[in-house]
Amino acid sequence: MPTYSGRTGGAGVLVAVRPNNTSGFMRFFSSRNVAVVLCTVLLAFAGGLAAFGQSGDSKPAEQQKPPSGDAVKDTQKKIDEIAEAGRLLTGAAANPECVWLGRRVVNLLWRDDLDTAFRHLDIYDRFGCPGGHIQATFRCLVRQGNIDPKAQESLSGRVHACWINPGLPATPPTAAQASPAAPAGTTAR
């Protein structure tokens, strides 16, 4: 509530005078100062979170180990397989991006990861790769039958063979696949 002093303005009007009873403590907590302090605290906290979120790998690039011999061989094998597909196939199915994406799609379809396979298939189509080659390769893979876990052949090797030649003949079933064993412990009455 303002207090009125005995002073009058130029036309005899009383002038309201605000008492000056605010301490230095109250002047410090003005809205402007509070906003500045709050922003400073938030920025300091955000900087700490950014440093905390950094990767735990603190080794410089010079001190990191070079890739092992197996990783180099695998990379070279993949490059050679893509180059082989480029030499043996014609059309868009021979393009490196089509070979890489197409083989991934067929591999994902075989492992029943349909959501991921369809997302990769969208990218495959966007590159202008032939959808019919995916169908033929998957058909070839299915005709080959299940992969024996004890065999040296891997899924990626079979997918590559079917990608190169989708007309591969079906493999004959092995003895274990041809005659399933009768369940033990059951008798017919």
- Structural domain total, the chain: 2
* Same domain flag for 26 and 93: no
Spatial distance between the Cα atoms of 12 and 6, rounded to a whole number of angstroms: 10
* Same domain flag for 137 and 84: yes
Mean pLDDT of the chain: 76
Residues of the chain above pLDDT 70, percent:
59
pLDDT in tens, 31-81: 777 777 766 766 676 666 555 555 555 555 556 666 677 778 878 888 888
Stronger pLDDT, 87 or 21, i.e. the higher one: 87
Name the pTM for this structure.
0.54
Residue 113 clears pLDDT 90, i.e. is over it: yes
Spatial distance between the Cα atoms of 75 and 49, rounded to a whole number of angstroms: 37
pLDDT in tens, 118-143: 999 999 999 999 999 999 999 999 99
Spatial distance between the Cα atoms of 115 and 67, rounded to a whole number of angstroms: 32
* Same domain flag for 85 and 157: yes
Does a structural domain hold residue 152? yes
Which residue range forms the structural domain that includes residue 31?
3-51
pLDDT of residue 77: 83
